[in-house]
């Protein structure tokens, strides 16, 4: 069973999951492409579907399956135990894969907006189902696209990891947003959405429900956030009618990133309130997209400071003009 160990200095939890190293890596051998477990016709190569949407001709258009090489396993208890001076927990949780399309080579942003909305609605449904288990405190939805982003398979997919604790990054965000709310009486993310919509210079995509911006203090070149315009602390509270709006902004944003940054690798992460927490006035869910243009270098690792060589204003200009960016 995987173990979750706590760093005694930072309070940061680390999942030690040795079995994960056994997972196939498509980038290693071209032969494995023909046996892609996520392609239509290869369903027996994955665990059975937890959820699926019917496609044309009796097939499927989207499938959710348990990860064959999970970072966490469904057995086990929550609550930490002592290990000498350290704290650890059973690696309890769930790890699911959302196979976004039966089509091996169609990128998410190349799919029709309705199909992207299917993916978004599936995320919401899965979170609503998963949070019924009181052991689950946080649901992490993310997508690794491309070799440099740590994806082991090319086939368009995203992942959901359900964890018995909230990640440190999210807790730090919630604390920072709570401080802002105490000082100014408003939600920082509502303020960012309003400020950026008025300033316009850093806006990459915008519709009635969502706005995509290159954040003011972007850590990474072409880092992009997608924010709901309406205050909402929990991702799973997004009304079904807004899924299509989110899909539209995702399609535009990822499309622009793919035009300006050919062979783009990126990580996309949903940040949201821990699922068992009540609705909060100070925190607001959002999506962070981090293109992988450069590796995090020694300075960043050592200091937690980031050096970003593309200003967020230049990044937005490049994306909105459809120019290719020369790395």
End-to-end Cα spacing for the chain: 42
Cα–Cα distance, 120 to 241 (Å, whole number): 11
The verdict on whether 157 is a catalytic residue reads yes
Question: Nearest distance from residue 206's CB to Zn ion, in Å?
Answer: 17
Determine which residue in the list 138, 189, 266, 285 makes contact with Zn ion, applying CB under 5 A.
Answer: 189
**Residue 220 binding Zn ion, by CB under 5 A:** no
Residue 140 is given by DSSP the state E
Question: Nearest distance from residue 18's CB to Zn ion, in Å?
Answer: 26
Helices (H), ranges, 221-311: 240-260, 298-303
Determine which residue in the list 4, 15, 39, 211 makes contact with Zn ion, applying CB under 5 A.
Answer: 39
Cβ distance to Zn ion smaller for residue 220 or 325: 220
Among candidate residues 157, 181, 234, 286, the one labeled active-site is 157
Cβ distance to Zn ion smaller for residue 104 or 219: 104
Angle at 171 between CA 302 and CA 4, to 5 degrees: 75
**Residue 282 binding Zn ion, by CB under 5 A:** no
Encode burial over 276-305: b for 16+ CB neighbours within 10 A, e otherwise.
eeeebebbbbbbbbbbbbeeeeeeeeeeee
Determine which residue in the list 139, 190, 192, 213 makes contact with Zn ion, applying CB under 5 A.
Answer: 190
Question: Nearest distance from residue 120's CB to Zn ion, in Å?
Answer: 18
**Residue 145 binding Zn ion, by CB under 5 A:** no
Residue 40 is given by DSSP the state T
**Residue 231 binding Zn ion, by CB under 5 A:** yes
Encode burial over 88-103: b for 16+ CB neighbours within 10 A, e otherwise.
bbbbbbbbbbbbbbbb
Cβ distance to Zn ion smaller for residue 87 or 103: 103
Provide the annotated active-site residues. Answer: 157
Residues of this chain that interact with Zn ion (CB under 5 A) are 36, 38-39, 104, 155, 187, 189-190, 231, 271, 284
């Amino acid at each position: 069973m995987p173990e979750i160990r706590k760093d005694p200095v930072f309070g940061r939890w680390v999942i030690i999951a040795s079995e994960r190293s056994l997972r196939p890596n498509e980038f290693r051998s071209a032969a494995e492409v023909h046996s892609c477990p996520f392609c239509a016709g290869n369903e027996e190569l994955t665990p059975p579907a937890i959820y699926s949407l019917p496609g044309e001709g009796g097939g499927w258009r989207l499938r959710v399956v348990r990860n064959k090489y999970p970072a966490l396993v469904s057995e086990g208890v929550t609550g930490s135990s002592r290990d000498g001076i350290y704290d650890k927990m059973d690696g309890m949780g769930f790890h699911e894969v959302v196979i976004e399309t039966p089509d091996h080579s169609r990128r998410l942003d190349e799919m029709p907006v309705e199909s992207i909305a299917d993916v978004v609605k599936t995320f919401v449904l899965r979170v609503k189902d998963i949070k019924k288990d009181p052991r689950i405190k946080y649901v992490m939805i993310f997508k690794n696209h491309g070799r440099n982003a740590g994806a082991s398979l090319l086939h368009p997919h995203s992942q959901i990891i359900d964890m018995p604790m909230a990640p440190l990054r999210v807790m730090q965000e919630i604390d920072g947003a709570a401080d802002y709310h105490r000082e100014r009486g408003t939600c920082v993310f509502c303020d960012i959405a309003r400020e950026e919509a008025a300033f316009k210079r850093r806006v990459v995509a915008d519709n009635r429900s969502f706005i995509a911006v290159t954040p003011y203090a972007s850590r990474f070149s072409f880092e992009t956030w997608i924010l709901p315009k309406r205050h909402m602390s929990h991702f799973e509270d997004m009304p079904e009618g807004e899924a299509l709006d989110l899909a539209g902004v995702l399609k535009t944003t990822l499309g622009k990133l793919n035009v300006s940054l050919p062979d783009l690798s990126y990580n996309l992460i949903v940040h949201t309130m821990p699922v068992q927490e009540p609705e909060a006035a100070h925190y607001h869910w959002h999506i962070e997209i981090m293109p992988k243009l450069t590796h995090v270098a020694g300075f960043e690792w050592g200091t937690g400071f980031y050096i970003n060589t593309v200003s967020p204003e230049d990044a937005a200009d490049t994306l909105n003009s459809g120019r290719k960016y020369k790395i």
